[in-house]
Amino acid sequence: MSCGASSSRPQIGASGGGWKRPRAMKHQPQRDGEPSPSPPPQRRPRGFASAPAPAAGGSPRRRGEREREREKERTKMRERHRRAITSRMLAGLRQHGNFPLPARADMNDVLAALARGAGWTVQPDGTTFRSSNQPLLPPPPPQLHGVFQVASVETPALLNTLSSYAIGTPLDSQASALQTDDSLSPSSLDSVVADRSIKTENYMNSSSISSLNCMDNDQQLMRSSVVFPGDYTKTPYIPVYASLPMGIINSHCQLVDPESVRAELRHLKSLNVDGVVVDCWWGIVEAWTPRKYEWSGYRDLFGIIKEFKLKVQACLYWLISVFLQTSIKVVLSFHGSGETGSGDVLISLPKWIMEIAKENQDIFFTDREGRRNTECLSWGIDKERVLRGRTGIEVYFDFMRSFHMEFRNLSEEGLVSSIEIGLGASGELRYPSCPETMGWKYPGIGEFQCYDRYMQKSLRQSALSRGHLFWARGPDNAGYYNSRPHETGFFCDGGDYDSYYGRFFLNWYSGVLMDHVDQVLSLASLAFDGAEIVVKVPSIYWWYRTASHAAELTAGFYNPTNRDGYSPVFRMLKKHSVILKLVCYGPEFTFQENDEAFADPEGLTWQVMNAAWDHGLSLCIESALPCQNGEMYSQILDTAKPRNDPDRHHAAFFAYRQQPPFLLQREVCFSELCTFVKCMHGEAPQNGEG
C-alpha cells in the first residue's frame, strides 16, 4: 500500500504493518489493568429543559428541599435577632458609655474602644498592648439604663428627676440582662424578646406620643423612673423654641383669637423659651388667585410677637410654616396639611391649584396604582409651565419673594433670624411615600411616587441616555404601602434593588429629589438675600436594620447598607450653607413593634448627625415632646449635647412642636418644660422649681 495523498495524520494500526486512516472510536471491552474511560462531558440544557425532572415518588426529595428552606429561614431569623441585640448594645455604648463608635461599627470597633477605655493602646492593624507608662485601669462601672421601674407618681416628680439629670445626681435603678447564645432556636429567641417586651410594654405605652393630651394636675400617671446621668451645667447654650398650634390663622388669613395668643406668649416667656414657631401656609396666603397674596393675619400675629420683644424664626413651606421666637424663624410650607391633634384643622393647597388639577391630575405625585397624592405638587413639574403659565419652581420663588417684601422690616430690625423652607411632604425633604390617606400604617415600606406623566418623562429620558430604554419603568415587584421588605422581590435580601436596573432606578429617583432641592434653595438665596435658611430632614428609622432600608428608598434616600445615601444630599446642602433640622420622633410604638420593624432610631440619628458634621453643616433638632415622658427629655438632651465629643459638636437650637390645645391649657407640662429648658441652656434647675 502506497502512502496516498491523505491529509489526515497517519495512525499505527492495531494489527501492525502499514498505515491506516483513523476511524471513529468504537466502544471496546476494558482490558485488565486499564482504567475505565471517563464519559464525555454533558452540556447543561437551557431554558425549561434545565429544570430537574421530578424524582420517582418525589416526596422524599421535596421534603428534603422544604426542610433545607426552613433551616435557611431559621438561620436568617437567628442572625436577625443577633443583629438586633448587637444594634441595641452599640446604641447603649454610644449613648451612655461615652464610646465614640462609628455609625457602622462592628465588634472589632467595640473591642478597640473598650481596650482604649481601659488604658491600652490599639494600633490600626489591630496590635494591642498596654503602655509601659500607663497603669492598667479597671473597666468603667456599668451604667444602669436597661430597666425601668414603673410606679404611680405625682406629676411634679419628674421635676426632681430632671433636676438630678442637670446636676448629675445618680438614681437607683435595677437592671436585667438579656442573655442569648447560639444554641437558642428562633422560637426560643422570640420568647426571650417577647418576655422583655411584656416587661416594658406598660412603660412604652405610657410614654407614647399620645400623651400630648395631658391630664389634670391631680391625676396620677403610670410613668418610669429613669436614670439621667451627666451634668449639663456650664454646657453650651442651646436655644429652645416652641411652636404655636395650627388654627390661630383661619382660611381667610385672619387672626382668630388675639387675646389667647397673648396669653400663650406670656406663658411661654415665663418658661424662658427663646422663641415660638408659627406655620405660614401657602394654601392660606395665595388661596384664591395666582400671585395675589394675603398676609394680614400673619402681619397681626407678628405685631403681637413684637410686643413681647420676641424675634421670629420664619419657616416657609409650600404649605408655609413660620417659626416665631425671640429671634423670628419663619417656615414656608408648600404642602397641604391633614387634621391636627384637635381634629378640626384642614389646610389644603391653594384653591386655584385644585382647579388646575381637575383637568390635569399629573401635577400631583402618583403611585403605581394611579392614585394621586394632593399633599404637595410633583417635582416633575418643576420646569413645566402647567400652573397658569408658571413652572413649579417659579411659583415657589414668587411666594418666597412676596414674604420677603411683606416682612422686610422685620428682617432689617433683626427680628427674622432664619427661614425654613418646606421641600416635600410634611415640610420634610422626602417623597410622600407613606401617606396615611392611602392607608399606610407603621411599619409599611411605602411606595415609590414616580408615576405621573412628568416624572415618567424624566425617567424615560434618563433610561435613553443610558442606552437602556426598557429601564424606563418603575419596579413591578416593590410591594404596596404596608408590605414588608421580605415580602417583595425588590427589597428582600439579594433583591432587585441591588441589580443593574435597581441601581439605575434608585440613582434616578434620589437624583430627582436632589435636583428639586438644589433649584429651590438657589432661588431661596436670591429671594431672602443672605438670610439663614433651614432644611428639615425626616427620621425614617423603620427597616433600618435590614439590608435594603426599604422605607428610606421609597422616601428618596438611597441608603442601603452598602451605600451612604445621606452624604451626597448633605454635600449639596453645604453648597447652599443651610442649617439641617433633624426630626427626632419619640417612642410612639412599643419595643416589640419596633423590633418587628427592625427599627433603629438611634442608629439613623447617629448616621445623619455624623454625616452632617463631617460636611460642616450646622444641625438643629425638632421633636414633639410628650409632657410626661422623662425618657424622651433625656434622649433629646443626649442628642443635642453629645458627651465626650472631641470636636464639641452640639445642636444649633431645638424646636418643640407642640400639639393643640395651647400650652397654657396644659399646666401639667410647665414644670417639666421649665426644667428641660434650663438643661438646654446649661443651667442647673433647683428642686421644686417650675
Contact 227, 262 (CB under 8 A): no
CB proximity list for 577: less than 8 A, separation 6 or greater: 533
| Grid cell listed for 435 | 401617606
Cα 584 from Cα 541, distance rounded (Å): 10
Cα 56 from Cα 66, distance rounded (Å): 17
CB proximity list for 126: less than 8 A, separation 6 or greater: 108
| Grid cell listed for 53 | 425532572
Omega into 661 within 30° of 0, i.e. cis?
A: yes
Out of 420, 622, 631, 672, the active site residue is 622
What residues form DSSP beta bridges with 150? 224
Name the phi and psi angles at 231, rounded to 5.
Answer: -115, 115
Contact 325, 277 (CB under 8 A): yes
Residue matched to cell numbers 428639586: 516
CB proximity list for 500: less than 8 A, separation 6 or greater: none
| Grid cell listed for 686 | 433647683
Cα 627 from Cα 254, distance rounded (Å): 30
Closest CA to 532 of 333, 681, 316: 316
DSSP 237: P
Cα 480 from Cα 460, distance rounded (Å): 23
Out of 428, 532, 552, 602, the active site residue is 428
Contact 414, 309 (CB under 8 A): no
| For the chain, the helix, strand and coil percentages under 3-state DSSP, each to the nearest 5 | 40, 15, 50
DSSP letter string, 490-544: TTSTT-GGGSHHHHHHHHHHHHHHHHHHHHHHHHHHHHHTT-EEEEEE----TTT
Contact 523, 577 (CB under 8 A): no
Cα 25 from Cα 36, distance rounded (Å): 15
| Grid cell listed for 676 | 428641660
| Grid cell listed for 681 | 441652656
Number of H helices, E strands in the chain: 18, 18
Q: Is 65 helix (H, G, I), strand (E, B) or coil?
A: helix
Residues in the chain: 690
| Grid cell listed for 115 | 481596650
Cα 315 from Cα 622, distance rounded (Å): 13
Closest CA to 427 of 298, 517, 527: 517
532 is catalytic: no
Cα 653 from Cα 274, distance rounded (Å): 9
Name the phi and psi angles at 332, rounded to 5.
Answer: -90, 125
| Grid cell listed for 225 | 423612673
> How many CA atoms does the CB half-sphere of 267 hold within 13 Å?
19
Closest CA to 544 of 556, 554, 559, 555: 559
622 is catalytic: yes
Q: Is 243 helix (H, G, I), strand (E, B) or coil?
A: strand
| Grid cell listed for 327 | 429671634
Give catalytic residue positions: 428, 622
